[in-house]
A and B are shown apart, each in its own frame.
Chain A
Amino acid sequence: MHIVVCVKQVPDSAQIRVHPVTNTIMRQGVPTIINPYDLFALEEALRLRDRFGGEVTVLTMGPPMAEDSLRKAMTFGADRAVLLTDRFFAGSDTLATSFALAMALKKIGEEFGEPSIVFTGKQTIDGDTAQVGPGIAKRLKLNQLTYVVKISDFDPENGGITVERRAEGGVQILSTKLPVLITMLEGSNEMRRGSLDDALRAAKAEVVKWNAADAGIEDLTKCGLRGSPTIVKKVFAPEARSEKAQAIETKDQSMEAIAHSFMAALFQRQPELEGELLRFAATQYGQEGLGHG
């Protein structure tokens, strides 16, 4: 059995700063990490491999430095890593990204065996779109299972899979046929600590590097900026609000006094809120209050 996990190297968003004058992201010195949502996908893939046998390949598209993320994924136990890198991919939007990744996945299928499952995280922390997974599924005609909380049944022999999927207003239990694309929801598992053996193997392993031609991509007009129907026309910093917060007096005040000044300030700003709270209280604090609702 072969499972492929698509990961992305992203800047650690907690440490991003925007240049105040040019409004550009200051990338220098910002550490890169594997998109945290992808780790849930990777862990789920490794668990299936540990139980059912087979191999896990990690795939990423990005600049040459994205190799670091692939090596990191191998320290957790991935068996093989493929880096898709080419200047033609620069500026890809979700449609162009899913095209390039789908082509690479086809090539991976030919070279290393058809994957039964392609995993992605639910979204990235830099783009936040959650659209590349569904894009890949559509292009490769994989059955699409997004926001998966749990794989409750997996039967690679007969090509069946049952999952719990986070839907609107509830959880769907879906059963479908392999091959599938799964986007894994955060919190669905916990990433293992890599073993020393895996760390040593990852340090020495050769990462497979493909450019567009290696991945079988002939039509470069479908890649990068040229293959992206969306155009970023304007980039700007979010507006700062000029109004300053009204501070409740806290100096030399007891907590009780602070709480009362706060309540007074709150109901002064939003008089109708007090009425709503009283109506709520009437329904909550015992029978005698019901008449006031």
Chain B
Amino acid sequence: MADAPKPNAGGSRAGTKKELPDHFKDYKHVWVAIECEHGVVHPVSFELLGEGRKLADKRGVELAGVVMGGSDEAIAEAIAATFEYGADVVYTVVDPVLAHYRNEPYTKAMTDLVNTYKPEILLLGATNLGRDLAGSVATTLLTGLTADCTELAIDDEGSLAATRPTFGGSLMCTIFTLNYRPQMATVRPRVMSMPERQEGKSGRVVSHPLDMGEEDVITKVLQFVADRETATAQLPYADIVVAGGLGLRSAENFQLVKNLAEVLGAEYGGSRPLVQKGWITADRQIGQTGKTIRPKLYIAAGISGAIQHRVGVEGSDLIVAINTDPNAQIMDFAHLAIVADAVQVLPALTEAFRKHLSVNRMAG
């Protein structure tokens, strides 16, 4: 694991030499893997294009998106969106084998593209798909991969400086891949902001073959059960999130969080201990090891705000802390604080919002 947070002063190891080996010198341009499943592009891909644009401009190179899929129709919209969110070039691999995400053919498609067109930087979303793919691609290419970055920059020597939290967010470290190409990094959804869409912007499309038949792929997709059929939490892209912590004192009191969320049309979630206690399911965990959220309004009820929770919520526009302890860690990063018992405050808030919204709606 890239978790040894000791700055390495250089010296004997191969990776620290300043001079890039000759065979990597023609690696150029910044690439973003566009996650496109069932005709829908994951928003993290656009967030990465926004970030990739800045890196490419700093390096004076092109920004490219990589779009893979089962048919031209399935990826047509994804290609158009990739240009509109900032890409100069789109590399495509289209083959029926790529209709559903599977590790083997997607790894082959991506590594073939990299070996042929040689990007210096390759960014992927730290989603289940992106993490499944990134590890295989980096291992096949034997290059460096920095996971779950929160900040990407180009340093004075033109290298990618990838900053990520480590030890549950207690520390940040900045990681480089100096002697290998491409420099790979993943970024979690909602960590970077969404760039402006430039309607009608277009660019160059480069198609590449897969050279792999269905008979070469051992793993088969028997079925796909979409979340919209099963009411799975959609926390990362919710506009309002209400969450609870151990300050609620009991699993029954978690209902108070759900009640407020319902009135506000919000998603609800909780801190890690609630998952461990079984009060909520893992898909509703907010924080470093759960979901990163970036809502307009985040209400944290009875959450102390340990660093691993903070890492997952600090991109929120407005953070509200409800906690009996005025010195709880959450008070260090909340914008509004109600120092009181969440179990009493939540029903009062639910009632106040219900009345306000109902009365003013009628009056409007």
Spell out A's residues near B (CB within 8 Å). Answer: 8, 11, 13-14, 16-18, 23-25, 90-95, 97-98, 123-135, 137-139, 143-147, 162, 166-177, 185-187, 221, 225-226, 228-238, 240-241, 243-248, 250, 255-256, 258-260, 262-263, 265-266, 269-270, 273, 276-278, 280-282, 284-285, 288-289, 292
Nearest-Cβ distance from residue B26 to partner chain A, whole angstroms: 18
**Could you say which of B42, B134, B224 has the most chain A C-beta atoms within 10 Å of its C-beta?**
B224
**Which chain A residues lie closer than 8 Å to B170 at the CB level?**
13, 16-18, 25, 237
B360 & A168 in contact (Cβ 8 Å cutoff): no
Task: Check: B259 CB closer than 8 A to any chain A CB.
Answer: no
A260 & B352 in contact (Cβ 8 Å cutoff): yes
CA distance A166 to B218 in the complex (A): 19
CA distance A245 to B288 in the complex (A): 22
CA distance A266 to B317 in the complex (A): 12
A232 & B175 in contact (Cβ 8 Å cutoff): yes
**Which chain B residues lie closer than 8 Å to A185 at the CB level?**
282
A134-B132, A266-B336 in contact; A229/B139 too (CB < 8 A)?
A: no
Task: Check: B158 CB closer than 8 A to any chain A CB.
Answer: no
Task: Check: B213 CB closer than 8 A to any chain A CB.
Answer: no
Nearest 6 pairs between A and B by C-beta?
A134-B135, A127-B1, A229-B144, A127-B3, A259-B352, A255-B348
- Among A18, A167, A171, A231, which residue has its beta carbon within 8 angstroms of that of B8? A231
B297 & A170 in contact (Cβ 8 Å cutoff): no
Task: Check: B202 CB closer than 8 A to any chain A CB.
Answer: no
- Among B2, B134, B222, B352, which residue has its beta carbon within 8 angstroms of that of A256? B352
Instruction: Enumerate 15 A-B pairs (CB-CB under 8 Å) in ascending A order.
Output: A11-B167, A16-B168, A128-B165, A167-B37, A176-B219, A186-B275, A235-B174, A236-B172, A240-B332, A258-B338, A259-B349, A269-B318, A273-B297, A277-B353, A292-B364
**Could you say which of B139, B222, B337 has the most chain A C-beta atoms within 10 Å of its C-beta?**
B139
- Among A92, A138, A176, A263, which residue has its beta carbon within 8 angstroms of that of B352? A263
- Among A129, A138, A234, A278, which residue has its beta carbon within 8 angstroms of that of B361? A278
**Which chain A residues lie closer than 8 Å to B264 at the CB level?**
277, 280
**Would you call the interface of chain B mostly helix, strand, loop, or mixed?**
mixed
A134 & B139 in contact (Cβ 8 Å cutoff): yes
B145 & A169 in contact (Cβ 8 Å cutoff): no
B135 & A135 in contact (Cβ 8 Å cutoff): yes
CA distance A151 to B341 in the complex (A): 43
**Which chain A residues lie closer than 8 Å to B168 at the CB level?**
13, 16, 125-126, 128
B129 & A175 in contact (Cβ 8 Å cutoff): no
Q: In the complex, which range does the number of interface residues on chain B fall in?
A: 35 or more
Closest to B262 in A: A284
CA distance A90 to B353 in the complex (A): 56
**Which chain A residues lie closer than 8 Å to B344 at the CB level?**
255
B40 & A270 in contact (Cβ 8 Å cutoff): no
Task: Check: B333 CB closer than 8 A to any chain A CB.
Answer: yes
CA distance A288 to B129 in the complex (A): 44
CA distance A23 to B242 in the complex (A): 33
**Which chain B residues lie closer than 8 Å to A11 at the CB level?**
167
Task: Check: B103 CB closer than 8 A to any chain A CB.
Answer: yes
Spell out B's residues near A (CB within 8 Å). Answer: 1-8, 12-16, 35, 37-38, 40, 42, 100-104, 107, 127-129, 131-132, 134-136, 138-140, 142-148, 161, 165-180, 218-228, 230, 239, 264-265, 275, 281-282, 288-289, 296-297, 306-308, 310-311, 317-318, 320-321, 326, 331-340, 344-345, 347-349, 351-353, 356-358, 360-362, 364
Given contacts A169-B228, A228-B144, 16 further A-B contacts (CB under 8 A): A17-B170, A91-B8, A126-B1, A127-B166, A137-B103, A143-B219, A146-B132, A232-B173, A234-B174, A236-B172, A237-B171, A238-B311, A245-B321, A276-B239, A277-B353, A281-B357
B220 & A176 in contact (Cβ 8 Å cutoff): yes
- Among B1, B42, B169, which residue has its beta carbon within 8 angstroms of that of A93? B1
B1 & A132 in contact (Cβ 8 Å cutoff): yes
Nearest-Cβ distance from residue A51 to partner chain B, whole angstroms: 22
A147 & B144 in contact (Cβ 8 Å cutoff): no
CA distance A167 to B37 in the complex (A): 10
A234-B7, A256-B352, A282-B361 in contact; A93/B338 too (CB < 8 A)?
A: no
B35 & A284 in contact (Cβ 8 Å cutoff): no
CA distance A125 to B331 in the complex (A): 25
A241-B332, A277-B353 in contact; A234/B173 too (CB < 8 A)?
A: yes
CA distance A177 to B218 in the complex (A): 7
A13-B167, A233-B7 in contact; A168/B224 too (CB < 8 A)?
A: no
**Which chain A residues lie closer than 8 Å to B348 at the CB level?**
255-256, 258-259
Closest to A185 in B: B282
A172 & B335 in contact (Cβ 8 Å cutoff): no
A281 & B358 in contact (Cβ 8 Å cutoff): yes
Closest to A250 in B: B340
CA distance A215 to B186 in the complex (A): 31
A230 & B148 in contact (Cβ 8 Å cutoff): no
